[in-house]
Amino acid sequence: MENCEEKDKKPRLCPVCKQVIVGRSDKNFCSEACRNMYHNRKYSRLRHDFKAIDRILKRNYLILKSLINSGTRKTNIHDMVMMGYIPKYVTSIRQENKHNKILAFSESPLIYECYDICFRQNKWGEVEILGQRPLPVGTILALNNENIPDDGV
Ligand SMILES: [Zn+2]
């Protein structure tokens, strides 16, 4: 009975070398070497993507930081793009607290953050840099106690 079921199944192929996988039904690779190669390639691509995004975020951060250092608090997104800023790459977006006085700047209640620098952008492309937000008390200590891998993988 088991042999009949086995005959109906298509042979499973190793995703790396395309050879037939022999052995247990939950085996995904023909060998340990192919399994390692698959994961190395996968994480190599991930690391490449992470690095590309990290570079964009860091460049965006440095542009915002240079604007703060030069005393610029209001600018526009077009000038920032001319400096190399790439919109859409932020580390978080949060809703402004309506009780906060900062809301007067624009109709948009959204506050964008690139790491610890907060800014707001309205529909005309005007940007108001709100400044650097201090990390909540205890964050550094908590991060130091976490086991965070170097590359995130
Ligand atoms: Zn293989």
**For every one of its 153 residues, what pLDDT tens digit does the chain have, with 9 covering 90 and above?**
445 455 557 889 999 999 999 999 899 999 999 999 999 999 998 999 999 999 999 999 999 999 999 999 999 999 999 999 999 999 998 877 666 555 455 555 688 999 999 999 888 899 999 999 876 666 555 656 665 555 444
What was the pLDDT predicted at 79? 97
CA of 32 to the centre of ligand 1 (A): 8
Answer positive or negative: Cα dihedral of 123, 127, 128, 129.
Answer: positive
How does 98-123 read in b/e, with b if 16+ C-beta sit within 10 Å?
Answer: eeeeeeebbeeeebbbbbebbbbbee
What was the pLDDT predicted at 15? 95
CA of 23 to the centre of ligand 1 (A): 13
What was the pLDDT predicted at 138? 64
* d(C-alpha 96, C-alpha 108), whole Å: 9
What was the pLDDT predicted at 1? 45
What was the pLDDT predicted at 94? 83
CA of 7 to the centre of ligand 1 (A): 22
Kindly report the CA angle at 44 between 41 and 45, in degrees rounded to 5?
90
CA of 29 to the centre of ligand 1 (A): 5
CA of 27 to the centre of ligand 1 (A): 11
CA of 1 to the centre of ligand 1 (A): 29
For residue 23, the Cα-to-chain-centroid distance in whole angstroms is: 38
pTM of this structure: 0.66
CA of 20 to the centre of ligand 1 (A): 8
CA of 11 to the centre of ligand 1 (A): 13
H helices present in the chain, as ranges: 2-8, 32-69, 77-82, 139-145
- Tokens for 39? 């994961």
